[in-house]
Every structure is written in structure tokens, then in C-alpha cells.
């Protein structure tokens, strides 16, 4: 039985896809009589199946060496594109985490989107989303991972654009798609190049190839940079980071997944690619630089946001920046642990925020406040999530950060400084968000705020319990250091940074005497942080301007030069015909002469080519050898 389940573990992603397909009759409006609910139930059921299946597989492969499954897909001429899967504790565990989070988010969405007419479409997209992500978790082929990342891009576009009647949503969807597409496109270039160089696209083969490969430095650098740009877009890293912030216009249950596992799937592929990236020091350094820039920049920006979802999404970027740094430092195990700890805590916070948004119909921190006494479960969930996402003993992120610090303690101490800074600022920001949302006096929109219905409360509380228990899970997996081996200096520094962050935050935002803490820094600084360092302007004057101007130029050229020339020839020939008709004599010998001359010219031209030799020389001169 277990063997059969392991053999069929490729079904785990397929369940989500089946769910998505099953919802089609409802989502395109073919079935109206039942309302869209059945579609949602199908999807929840399918996700449950995927979860159970992956749990069984995880049980079977626990402490076993990784298995590889090859599914033949396409083999033409010399191109072999088979879809390889890796069935190991890590990959199946990741898939299980994804399906579990997806299940939680979907149940949550039953409550959150209760009155939305597009609920069937939403579930179709969630099924698609889940399928792509769990596929990435299991994939052992760069080709398959690339394809799934692209499908993730598409479903992000459609999920962000879920409420497509609103103008902001439309631009947000467009930006999410195009930003990720830039990354994907560069990644595709890398994939094509790598496929040419290495011959195979399976991660296992690539790893073996990377051991012995000798590439020219330029090739290796370009290849490495192309490969990291896909994850850069997916993980919302500088300079492809703005989409995540805008994507918060989408429905909240999708944001739960987007901020926890979707961004992580990009980093997951990056971790898989790490042996190849090791060929290029420039690529590794680029990872570290991008990660550091994003981690620090996004931490600052998140503090300046008044939209609670945007604030948290910037902090997601910051954490993923830390993951980038750790991959760049070749500390992949730490990166995985980090992704896990961050994923569950961020998911929990987004569920709590979603409850607040549904109850109060606003996500503006300036309009919130005083919810702690009115929504206790939601408040508790937020507190647990916040505590688990900063270095507070003994919750998940503390251990991840500790591992991080210990791994890099000797190698690069400055990066530990980055970690401490990000941790402290996140702590500050989370206390700020807590203070503005749950603390203080109630405002107009929060005065009558009941606790959310059970469909949302149950998954939220379950998630909170899971987050609290996560350290035990880690201990079971022997991922926690023992008391003897622990680096106590690192522990002290981490706890100190959290304490300073929380303390400062509490002093400013939980202090009833401080009325308007916004005025702490000057308006210019506040504005530049609130508008994400004016990154959008940067896009506007670089890529967008380039594409728009060149497309205008091309269209102009097409219309007035190419087409204009053609039309001119048409007019000219009509005109010359009109004028020539006055020269016609009507004598047939003149016509014959014209014909004769024409034939003569044509024949001369043809027979000249028979001579050949001058043309061969021209031909050789024309052949471009060195391209």
C-alpha cells in the first residue's frame, strides 16, 4: 500500500489540478442553479486528498534515501525532456506543508469570500496555485520547475486580478505578471543555455555536471545571473520587488499563500540550483548583494506603510532577502529551515489580518485600533504569528535565525549584523502594527467588530497551535541544536535585538500618551519609505519608457516609412501609367521592341549568373562566419 502511494506520489500536484478543472463549469458560469459553493467544496476535498496522500508518502519515505522517478514526456531528435521527481523527506515534507497551508487557506476562504460571486473562479485558481507549488516541491527537473514557476506567474496574475473591476487591481495584476515575467524570461534564457551546455535538465544530472564543468568565466557569470533572476522575481527581491506589495490588492486567502509558500517556491528552486550557481562567484555575490539590499531596504519600507497587508508583504521581501543571502553563502539547509519558519508564521499573521479586514472592511492602519478586546482569537493569532516570526525563544524563527547566525558566525560576521538589524526592525514593525490594529482606542470602523465566524476562526486557531508546536516538530527532526553546542553569544544578540525592537515599538505605539507617532521622522524620509524608495519611478524611466518609446517608434516607422513607401509606389505607378498613356502611338512594332528589350535584359541577367565565379566571391564575402 505504502509502496503504491510512493509510486503515485506525482498525484499530489495533480489533485489540485483536478480540483481546478472540476470547478470550470461553475467558474465560467455554465452551472448557475446550485450557486458556486459546490466548486469550493470539490477543491477543499481535493486538497484534503493531496494532504492525506502526501502525509502517507512522507511516512513511507521518512529516513529513507531520496528516490527519483522519471516520467518520460517528450523525446525528439536529441532533446530529452523527461519529468524527474524527487521523492525524499524534504521534498514530500515541503509538498505536505504546501497542501496543508493551501487547505487552511481554502477553508479560511470559505468564510472570507462567503458572499463573493466569483468564489468558484477563486477556487479554480487556488487549485491551480497549489498544484504548481507542490509540483515545484517534488520536481527534480529544472525544466519542470521552470514550467511550474511560469504557471505560478499566470495564476498569480489571475488571483491578483480576481476583483478585476477595480482599476488598482488591474494595474496590480499587470505589474505582478510583467515583473515576474522579466525574471522568468531571463531564467528561460538560463535554462536554454544550461540545457545546451549540460545536455540534461535534471537537477541530479546538473549537479554531477557542475562538479566537472569548465566554463569560461563570462559564460558562467551570465548563466548564473540568468538563473538567479527567475527566483529574484518570484521572491520579490530588488529590483523585481514591487509586485508583491501591489499584489496585496488581491483577495486575502490568496495572500496567505503568496506570502508564505509562493515566494518560498522561488527560493526553493534557487536552493536546488545552488550547485550550478557555485560555478560563478559573481552570481553568488549578486545573491548576497540583492538579498542584503532587499532585506534592509524592505525592512525600512515596511515600517512606513499604513496599509497593513503591504507592510507585512514588505517584511516578506525582507525575510526572503535573508534567504537569498544564505543561499549565496552556500548555506542551503539554513535557507530551508528559514523558509519553513517564516512561511507558517507569516501565513498565520495574514489569516489574522484577513479576519480584521473582513470584519472592519479596511486595511488602513490609521482607521484601525482597539480590536484586542473585541476579537480575542484574531489578536491571539497575530501575537503568536508575530512572536514566531522574530527571534523570540522558543518559537520557530528563533531557531532558524540561530542556525543562520551560527552558520555565518565565522564566515562573515557582517551578515549576522544584517540579520540582527532585520530582526530588530521587524520586531519594531510588528509591535507597531499590533499597536495600531489591536491596541489603542477603537475608531469608527472598529467600534462594532465581532469575532469572525468559525469557518475562519477554526483554521486560524489551528494554525496558531501548529505554529506554537513547530519547535517540537523541529526537535523531532533533530534540527535543533543541543544546549551544549549552542552559540550563546548569538542567542544573546538575537534576543537582545528582538527585545530592543519590541521595546522601542512598545514605547512608541503601545504608549497611550503618544498621540501621533507618525511625526517621529521628517516628512521627506517618511514619504520616500512609504513610496518604496520611488522604485516605481525607476521602472517608469527605465524599462517602461524604453518599451513604450521603442514601440511608438516602430509603429511610426511602420506606418509612415514602410507603409508610406509602399503607398507612394502605388500612387507613383498609377500616376506614371496615367501620364504614359499619352505617349502611346498604337504602332505594334513599338510594343514588340519593348518586349524584345525586356526579354533580352532578363536573359542577360540569367546567363550572367551561369558564369558564376564573380558571384561565388560575393557569396563568400556575404557569409557571416563568426556570429
Partner 1 sequence: MLSPLIWAPFLGVVLIGLYPQPLQPSRARQLALAIATLTLFWSIYVATQFNIGQSGFQMQESLPWIERLGLTYQLGVDGLSMPLMLMNSLLTWIAIYSSDAQISRPRLYYILVLVLGGAVAGAFLAQNLLLFFLFYEVELIPLYLIIAIWGGSRRGYAATKFLIYTAFSGVVILAAFFGLSFLGGSSSFDYEVLRSQVLPLSSQLILLITLLVGFGIKIPIVPLHTWLPDAHVEAPTPASVLLAGVLLKLGTYGLLRFGLGLFPDAWQVLSPWLAWLAVVSVLYGSLAAIAQTDMKKTVAYSSVGHMGYILLASAAATPLSLLGAVAQMVSHGLISALLFLLVGVVYSKTGTRDINALQGLLNPERGMPLIGSLMVAGAMASAGIPGMVGFIAEFIVYRSSFPVFPIPTLLCMVGTGLTAVYFLILINRTFFGRLPETLANLPRVRWQDRLPSAIVTVLIIALGLQPSWMLRWSEATTTALAPIVARVAWEVSVK
Residues that bind partner 1 (CB under 8 A): 28-29, 74-79, 117-118, 146-148, 150-151, 153-154, 158, 161, 164-165, 167, 169-171, 173-174, 177-178, 181-182, 185, 188-189, 192-193, 195-199, 209, 212-213, 547-548, 550-555, 558, 562-563, 566, 570, 606, 609-610, 612-613, 615-616, 619-620, 622-624, 627
* Whole-number Cα distances in Å, 85 to 41, 72, 582: 29, 11, 80
The residue written with cell numbers 512609504 in the block is 530
Give the separation between CA 325 and CA 148, rounded to whole angstroms.
24
Q: Least distance (Å) from partner 1 to the CB of residue 509?
A: 38
Nearest approach in angstroms of CB 613 to partner 1 is 7
Q: Toward partner 1, which CB reaches closer, 182 or 380?
A: 182
Alpha helices in 522-623 (DSSP H): 523-530, 535-539, 545-556, 563-580, 588-611, 613-622
Compute the least distance from the CB of residue 557 to partner 1, in Å: 8
Q: Check: CB of residue 456 under 8 Å from CB of residue 106.
A: no
CB of 16 to partner 1, least distance (A): 13
Burial of 542 (0-12, 13-18, 19+ CB in 10 A): exposed
Nearest one of 418, 419, 376 to 401, comparing CA atoms: 419
Q: Which is nearer to partner 1, 417 or 570 (CB)?
A: 570
Nearer to partner 1, 14 or 528 (CB): 14
Closest CB to partner 1 among 75 and 448? 75
Sign of the alpha-carbon dihedral angle for 61, 135, 336, 186: positive
Q: Whole-angstrom Cα distance, residue 373 to residue 379?
A: 8
Residue 164 vs 575, nearer CB to partner 1? 164
- Between 149 and 419, name the residue whose CB sits nearer to partner 1: 149
- 2: cell is 505504502
Cell numbers placing 65:
534515501
Write down the least CB distance from residue 20 to partner 1, Å: 11
Tell the smallest beta-carbon distance from residue 185 to partner 1 (Å): 5
**How many residues can be counted in the chain?**
627
Question: Cβ of residue 558: shortest distance to partner 1, in angstroms?
Answer: 5
CB burial of residue 535 (10 Å; 0-12, 13-18, 19+): middle
The whole-angstrom separation of Cα 609 and Cα 122 is 67
**403 vs 489: CA distance, rounded Å:** 13
Kindly state the smallest distance separating residue 22's Cβ from partner 1, in Å.
Answer: 16
Shortest Cβ distance from residue 439 to partner 1 (Å)? Answer: 38
The residue among 401, 427, 405, 426 whose CA lies nearest residue 415 is 405
Query: Which DSSP category does 312 fall into?
Result: H
**What is the smallest separation between the CB atom of 163 and partner 1, expressed in angstroms?**
10
> At closest approach, how far in Å is the CB of 114 from partner 1?
17
Q: Please say which residue, 218 or 477, places its beta carbon nearer to partner 1.
A: 218
Enumerate the β-bridge partners of residue 79.
Answer: 76
Nearer to partner 1, 192 or 472 (CB): 192
From its phi and psi, is residue 462 left (phi > 0), alpha (psi between -120 and 50) or beta?
A: alpha
Q: Which is nearer to partner 1, 272 or 342 (CB)?
A: 272
75/537 with CB nearer partner 1: 75
Nearer to partner 1, 28 or 393 (CB): 28
* All cell numbers assigned to 427: 520586531
* Residue in 184, 185, 177 with CA at minimum distance from that of residue 250: 177
Q: Residue 305: name the closest of 529, 16, 126 by CA.
A: 529
Amino acid at each position: 500500500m505504502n509502496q503504491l502511494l510512493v509510486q503515485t506520489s506525482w498525484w499530489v500536484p495533480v489533485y489540485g489540478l483536478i480540483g481546478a478543472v472540476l470547478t470550470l463549469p461553475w467558474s465560467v458560469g455554465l452551472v448557475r442553479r446550485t450557486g458556486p459553493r459546490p466548486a469550493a467544496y470539490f477543491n477543499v476535498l481535493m486538497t484534503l486528498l493531496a494532504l492525506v496522500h502526501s502525509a502517507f508518502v512522507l511516512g513511507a519515505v521518512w529516513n529513507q534515501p531520496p528516490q527519483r522517478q522519471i516520467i518520460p514526456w517528450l523525446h525528439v531528435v536529441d532533446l530529452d525532456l523527461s519529468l524527474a521527481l524527487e521523492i525524499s523527506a524534504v521534498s514530500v515534507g515541503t509538498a505536505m506543508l504546501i497542501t496543508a497551508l493551501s487547505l487552511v487557506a481554502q477553508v479560511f476562504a470559505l468564510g472570507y469570500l462567503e458572499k463573493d460571486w466569483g468564489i468558484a473562479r477563486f477556487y479554480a485558481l487556488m487549485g491551480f496555485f497549489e498544484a504548481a507549488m507542490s509540483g515545484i516541491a517534488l520536481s527534480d527537473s529544472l525544466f519542470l520547475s521552470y514550467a511550474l514557476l511560469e504557471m505560478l506567474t499566470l495564476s498569480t496574475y489571475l488571483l491578483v486580478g480576481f476583483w478585476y473591476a477595480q482599476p488598482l487591481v488591474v494595474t496590480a495584476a499587470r505589474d505582478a505578471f510583467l515583473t515576474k515575467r522579466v525574471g522568468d524570461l531571463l531564467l528561460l534564457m538560463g535554462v536554454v543555455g544550461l540545457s545546451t551546455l549540460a545536455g540534461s535538465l535534471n537537477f541530479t544530472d546538473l549537479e554531477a555536471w557542475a562538479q566537472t564543468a569548465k566554463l569560461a568565466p563570462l559564460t558562467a557569470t551570465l548563466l548564473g545571473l540568468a538563473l538567479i533572476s527567475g527566483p529574484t522575481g518570484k521572491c520579490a527581491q530588488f529590483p523585481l520587488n514591487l509586485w508583491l506589495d501591489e499584489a496585496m490588492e488581491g483577495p486575502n486567502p490568496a495572500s496567505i499563500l503568496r506570502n508564505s509558500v509562493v515566494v518560498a517556491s522561488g527560493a526553493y528552486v534557487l536552493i536546488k540550483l545552488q550547485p550550478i550557481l557555485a560555478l560563478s562567484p559573481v552570481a553568488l555575490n549578486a545573491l548576497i548583494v540583492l538579498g542584503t539590499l532587499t532585506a534592509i531596504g524592505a525592512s525600512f519600507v515596511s515600517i512606513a506603510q499604513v496599509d497593513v497587508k503591504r507592510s507585512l508583504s514588505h517584511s516578506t521581501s525582507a525575510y526572503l532577502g535573508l534567504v537569498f543571502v544564505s543561499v549565496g553563502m552556500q548555506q542551503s539547509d539554513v535557507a530551508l529551515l528559514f523558509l519553513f519558519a517564516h512561511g507558517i508564521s507569516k501565513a498565520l499573521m495574514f489569516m489574522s489580518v484577513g479576519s480584521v479586514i473582513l470584519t472592519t472592511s479596511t486595511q488602513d492602519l490609521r482607521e484601525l485600533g482597539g480590536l484586542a478586546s473585541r476579537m480575542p482569537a484574531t489578536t491571539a493569532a497575530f501575537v503568536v504569528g508575530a512572536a514566531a516570526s522574530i527571534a523570540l525563544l522558543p518559537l520557530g524563527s528563533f531557531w532558524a535565525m540561530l542556525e543562520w547566525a551560527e552558520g555565518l558566525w565565522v564566515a562573515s560576521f557582517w551578515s549576522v549584523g544584517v540579520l540582527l538589524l532585520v530582526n530588530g526592525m521587524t520586531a519594531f514593525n510588528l509591535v507597531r502594527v499590533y499597536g495600531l490594529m489591536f491596541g489603542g482606542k477603537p475608531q469608527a470602523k472598529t467600534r462594532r467588530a465581532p469575532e469572525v465566524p468559525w469557518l475562519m476562526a477554526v483554521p486560524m486557531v489551528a494554525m496558531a497551535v501548529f505554529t506554537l508546536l513547530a519547535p517540537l516538530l523541529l526537535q523531532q527532526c533533530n534540527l535543533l541544536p543541543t544546549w551544549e553546542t549552542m552559540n550563546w553569544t548569538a542567542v544573546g544578540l538575537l534576543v537582545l535585538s528582538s527585545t530592543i525592537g519590541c521595546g522601542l515599538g512598545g514605547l512608541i505605539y503601545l504608549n497611550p500618551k503618544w498621540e501621533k507617532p507618525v511625526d517621529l521622522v521628517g516628512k521627506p524620509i517618511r514619504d520616500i519609505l512609504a513610496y518604496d524608495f520611488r522604485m516605481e519611478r525607476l521602472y517608469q524611466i527605465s524599462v517602461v519608457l524604453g518599451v513604450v518609446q521603442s514601440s511608438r517608434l516602430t509603429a511610426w516607422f511602420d506606418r509612415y516609412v514602410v507603409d508610406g513607401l509602399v503607398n507612394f509606389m502605388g500612387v507613383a505607378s498609377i500616376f506614371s501609367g496615367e501620364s504614359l498613356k499619352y505617349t502611346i502611338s498604337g504602332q505594334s512594332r513599338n510594343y514588340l521592341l519593348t518586349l524584345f528589350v525586356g526579354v533580352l535584359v532578363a536573359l542577360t541577367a540569367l546567363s550572367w549568373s551561369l558564369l558564376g565565379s564573380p558571384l561565388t566571391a560575393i557569396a563568400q564575402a556575404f557569409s557571416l562566419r563568426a556570429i
